Amino acid sequence: MAEATSSKPETKSDFLRIMTERGYLHQLSDHAGIDALAAKGELTTYVGYDCTAASFHVGNLLSIMMLHWLQETGNKPIVLMGGGTTQVGDPSGKDESRQMLTLDGIEANKMSLKQTFSRLLRFGEGPSDAVMVDNAEWLTPLNYIAFLRDVGRHFSVNRMLSMDSVKLRLDREHELSFLEFNYMCLQAYDFVELSRRYGTRLQMGGSDQWGNIVTGIDLGRRMGAPQLYALTCPLITTASGAKMGKSAQGAMWLNADMKPPYDYWQFWRNTEDADVGRFLRLYTLLPLDEVARLEALGGAEINEAKKVLATEATAIMHGREAAERSAMTAQQTFEQGVTSADLPSVTVSAEEWNAGIGVLSAFVRAGLLASTGEARRQIKGGGLRVNDEVLGDERRVLVDADRVAEGAVKLSLGRKKHVLLRAP
């Protein structure tokens, strides 16, 4: 925790009170300054998002929730899409050479990412309505020499070298490219530019962004901007120490076309006991007394809290209806032992079905397994089931008689993953 927060001054603003109570705060640069602006509804705040993928994932969710609460408490959120900075690429963290994204790819990602915000933020022209901008707007036309003279002269390399992110790389003797310096500078410049255009005063982000944000504050001071502020949220890990939403299966995407609501619901349903209270505060909008009640449930009853967590979190991203349907599907599947027609399904063509699908390829076709070899191994381990019966014969071919549930074959990997294989 930052020393800046340790003094615990009195909080007047709803925004900071909520940030504190719900566990969003990691570091902030000036509690009193931020608090005063927030209390007046003048804390225009931005978070920047690079367009490196077509969807956000659970790891990005925290900052979006923070923007939501900011708006709820009467302040103006600004969503900055990094159409410009993505062209440079943030090299921090990655040691593998990242492929350069094409301009078209960045644009496509940007359009796809935009949809995430609509459920949590209200956009418009009003004083606390959210605004979305793209930093390509001012970064692309920049002239190198002019930028160096006007902006670059304010950067102190000495100071940048003392930043944690840089120091770490230097100490470990890892390559630190000039590109990375530029990224920091561009992000800092964004902050100043946004303060000019929208009166932005605060930048929020993950704890790894602290250095970059503070660099922006510094630049703002040197370029005559009003006092700027920083606020970061913690890097969320599960109680077991795993990074939030990252698995071998891939990221837990927020876009429904990349991760169906049912899977999203299941993700939250499988939260560890020890995380339930914390996640309810961070990832749902439930009032804190309700959270406290759910958190207090012990033993197997905690499962009720997990269901609430799953439904509430899913409702935020995919809507109440999809969340309820996911909950229903789960109840039928896990509690009643009934095959639900709403389970994820994969449809094969009539020709494919009539040609006779072997069980091995059926599981691969359903997307449950990556290869027939893996299917063979899972059969040996007793991990595959067809219509809820453990599969022992890897040579078995699916026939019409197997289509018992809703005209589909229910394929299961382990106890939790089910897919309906449909054919016309």
Partner RNA sequence: GGAGGAGUGUCCCGAGUGGCAAAGGGGGCGGACUGUAAAUCCGCUGGCUACGCCUUCGUAGGUUCGAGUCCUACCUCCUCCA
Residue 235 CB, nearest approach to RNA (Å):
17
Q: Is residue 365 near RNA by the rule CB under 7 A?
A: no
Nearer to RNA, 217 or 369 (CB): 369
Q: What's the rounded Cα separation, in Å, for the pair 80 and 85? A: 10
Work out which of 269, 281, 410, 418 binds RNA, going by CB under 7 A: 269
Phi, psi torsion values for 336, nearest 5 degrees: -100, -15
Q: Is residue 414 near RNA by the rule CB under 7 A?
A: yes
Q: DSSP letter string over 339-379? A: PPTTS-EEE--HHHHHT-EEHHHHHHHTTS-S-HHHHHHHH
Phi, psi torsion values for 57, nearest 5 degrees: -130, 180
What type of residue sits at position 167?
A: K
Nearer to RNA, 255 or 271 (CB): 271
187 is in an annotated binding site: yes
46 is in an annotated binding site: yes
Residue 168 CB, nearest approach to RNA (Å):
14
Burial of 282 (0-12, 13-18, 19+ CB in 10 A): buried
Q: What's the rounded Cα separation, in Å, for the pair 52 and 389? A: 42
Q: What's the rounded Cα separation, in Å, for the pair 424 and 345? A: 13
Q: Is residue 382 near RNA by the rule CB under 7 A?
A: yes
262 neighbors 343 (Cβ within 8 angstroms)? yes
Contact pattern for RNA over residues 217 through 256, marking x by CB under 7 A:
----------------------xx-x----xxx-------
Q: Is residue 387 near RNA by the rule CB under 7 A?
A: no
Q: Is residue 371 near RNA by the rule CB under 7 A?
A: yes
The H-or-E segment that residue 307 falls in is helix 302-318
- CA-wise closest residue to 34 among 227, 233, 213, 187: 227
Work out which of 10, 171, 175, 351 binds RNA, going by CB under 7 A: 175
Residue 85 CB, nearest approach to RNA (Å):
24
Q: Look up tokens 């923070």; give the residue.
A: 66
Work out which of 93, 287, 337, 381 binds RNA, going by CB under 7 A: 381
Tally of residues, the chain: 424
> In 3-state terms, what secondary structure has residue 203?
strand
Contact pattern for RNA over residues 155 through 174, marking x by CB under 7 A:
------------------xx
Residue 247 CB, nearest approach to RNA (Å):
5
Facing residues of 132 across strands?
79
144 is in an annotated binding site: no
Nearer to RNA, 45 or 284 (CB): 284
Phi, psi torsion values for 342, nearest 5 degrees: -90, 5
Work out which of 153, 159, 320, 377 binds RNA, going by CB under 7 A: 377
| Residues in 282-341 at the binding interface with RNA, rule: CB under 7 A | 299-300, 302-303, 306, 330-331, 333-335
Q: Is residue 366 near RNA by the rule CB under 7 A?
A: no
Binding residues, by number, are 46, 183, 187, 246
Positions in the binding site for RNA (CB under 7 A)? 173-175, 239-240, 242, 247-249, 266, 269-273, 299-300, 302-303, 306, 330-331, 333-335, 360-361, 364, 370-374, 376-378, 380-383, 413-417
